[in-house]
Amino acid sequence: MFQKWFYKRRTKAEKTRTQLTPWTTKLIKERNIDLKKYTVRPTDSVNFNVKDENKDGLVNLSQKTCSCLKFEVDKLPCRHALAAIRYAKKPFLDYCGDCYKTTS
């Protein structure tokens, strides 16, 4: 039973051509929706104050943290972090945990 399950998952993973798992790609796309509505104000090269309609986020890109705590808990950029990453013109893949990457 487990052998078949592992075989199916391994086969599916080998066919994946993206750098992130399909689930992660979908989540990042969802988090990217409406980022243009966010206001990003850098305090220096790694710290950003990101305002959205409901909640502000204080993002530190070098420590991969945000005051909403999703960045640290998920090991994936939250919406605030994605807005800061986009503002800083950095590759968002650098901020995704290795467990979400197909190359790890």
| Residue 53 to residues 22, 24, 93, 95, Cα–Cα distance (Å) | 29, 25, 26, 24
Higher pLDDT: 1 or 73? It is: 73
Give the pLDDT score at 15. Answer: 67
DSSP 50-87: EE-SS-EEEEETTTTEETTSHHHHHSS--HHHHHHHHH
Q: What predicted TM-score, i.e. pTM, was given to this entire model?
A: 0.81
- Label the pairing between strands 39-42 and 65-66: unpaired
